[in-house]
Structure 1
Amino acid sequence: MTLVDAGLGNLASVERALIQVGSSTIVTNDPDLVATSRIVVFPGQGAFGDHTDQLVDGAMGEALRMVIQRGDPFLGICIGMQMLFEGSEEGGGRKGLGILPGRCRRFPDNMTVEEGDKTRRLKIPHMGWNEVRPSNEHYYFVHSYYVDAANSDDVMWSATYGDIDFAAAVRHENIFGCQFHPEKSQQAGLRFLRAFLLGSRQ
């Protein structure tokens, strides 16, 4: 399995989690090596910006597209999932890899939740544990932007923050993505990574 170092961070903890579920993992920032990989995990955290524009338009973006178009198993984590889509509202509007239809939108600043007779304002970013449907598991999230998928069939699992239902995980043919951080989600996260690994080997 190849773990992509695209300069988006979040590598060491993902690598440890993959090793824990039995994966032999190579970490690389070499687009040529990524392009010939048979199982790819593309993690990331942070924001869309100049660096992601360069990635999309550069050799690494082309390598990621080659893996996906060839039909090999691919998993995007957090911003790695968001970048599978057409773009994001972040940074005044940034483009993604354009593999799946849809865009990333920011959670509204004025979201609230009713707790008894009180109203509590929700914080942005959405940070912490959240139940995911229909897995009924809880996973750990850290994000201010969420995927608004144009094709509902691409949404494998959903979650809710405030009054926003968003894609917690997506799947399209050989492509998987998760907005949550499986490497921070304890046993539920390890089960998710193990299922991806086992499915990739079939």
Structure 2
Amino acid sequence: MIRARRKGRPREFPRPPCSLSCRRLHARIVSISRQLPRPSIRVDRYSVGSLCCIFILGLSAGCGPRGDETSRSAEATIDEFYNALQSENAALALSMLSRDVLVYEMGAVDRSRKEYATRHLATDMKAAVSLRRELLSRRREGAGDIRWVFSTYLEVAVAPDEKETENQATETIGLRFDGQAWRILHMHYSSNRNIIIPQTNKQ
């Protein structure tokens, strides 16, 4: 609610419980409304403030992801990313990464989507094709535009001699909502042994 202005006390506007970007927009509009020239009819100025607040509250209804449903959609992005790797769909996999993604993988570092595409994407697709992954545990953190998902997997790799090798992998993935979809902002993957990737072009 908008409180009536008293002498010596500034007006107060409702603050929408949404993402950082919406809070910044709210603060900007409130600041602009306070800089408006003082009209001869006092109620008109408060009407402007009321309209600003109604506008902000309308934006807050859909500006930022919140709740368990959006946490599940963030996890779905992770699963879709690995499905894209397994189907060797490079374009789809890259579309789920933020341009400034930071990837830590087995001691190597990729500092952008372009760098990941040229250095590790092909290897990751080959590994995904040769692996069976079983989710062992998953923990979720974060709020607003950011989610963190911590997972452990049992991975079974099939060697060229058809011998299966099991290893446990740990994975941390950070995601950011860009207003349209969740994008992977950070990936950190490690396992307790090297993954055997079958040779695909043997004569």
Q: TM-score, normalised by structure 2?
A: 0.23
Whose strand fraction is larger, Structure 1's or Structure 2's? 1
Q: TM-score, normalised by structure 1?
A: 0.23
Whose helix fraction is larger, Structure 1's or Structure 2's? 2
Which structure's CA Rg is the greater one? 2
